[in-house]
Homo-oligomer: A and B are copies of this chain.
Amino acid sequence: MSPREMKFMQAAIDLSRQGMHEGQGGPFGCIIVKNDVIVGKGCNCVTTYNDPTAHAEIVAIRDACKSLNHFQLTDCELYTSCEPCPMCLGAIYWARPSVMYFANTRKDATAIGFDDSFIYDELNVPIRERAIQTIRLEIPDALKVFEEWAQKPNKTVY
């Protein structure tokens, strides 16, 4: 790895340590870089924000999108101190940065008590066997809304 990437990853790791010791939440940090400038950052704030979605990556993505005034992280790099959980990996795909770097792995996260690997496994479990009971209600009106979207003029696609 180059000193440049090392420097940005260390900034994410520093955030993970600082947030944990300040009692913000779990030991995770993330920064987002565009043109060598940090445009977004976040540490895990689940327990202080009372928000289960306030993982470091989600906090950093929301922060960067606010800075850039756009819902896409085009030409950005994302540095996260740990491999993203499925929620955060999904968020990264929707935000569409050009590259993602991580340090610790999902197995490292599981080893200190986090559900990351379990949730990765659940994504591939058939719906009727999921740990959280999951039931499909087939309702034609729901599909009708999708048809209305398909036919809507002047929509902003994302």
Contacts and interface: CB of A to CB of B under 8 A. Distances in A.
Number of chain A interface residues as a range: 35 or more
A62 to B, nearest CB: 6
Nearest to A49: B71
Interface in A46-63: 46-47, 49-53, 55, 58, 61-62
Interface in A31-81: 46-47, 49-53, 55, 58, 61-62, 65-66, 69-73, 81
B112 A142 contact: no
Given A90-B90, A149-B112, A103 B10 contact: no
Given A102-B134, A102-B136, A142-B16, A158 B46 contact: yes
Contacts of A152: 20
* Copies of chain A in the complex: 2
A50 B71 contact: yes
Given A52-B61, A109-B146, 20 more contacts: A9-B139, A20-B152, A25-B158, A27-B145, A46-B94, A53-B91, A81-B145, A82-B142, A85-B90, A86-B86, A87-B89, A90-B90, A90-B119, A93-B119, A100-B134, A101-B135, A101-B136, A103-B142, A112-B147, A120-B123
Interface of A: 1, 5-6, 9-10, 13, 16-17, 20-21, 23, 25-27, 46-47, 49-53, 55, 58, 61-62, 65-66, 69-73, 81-83, 85-105, 108-109, 111-113, 115, 118-120, 122-124, 131-139, 141-143, 145-150, 152, 155-158
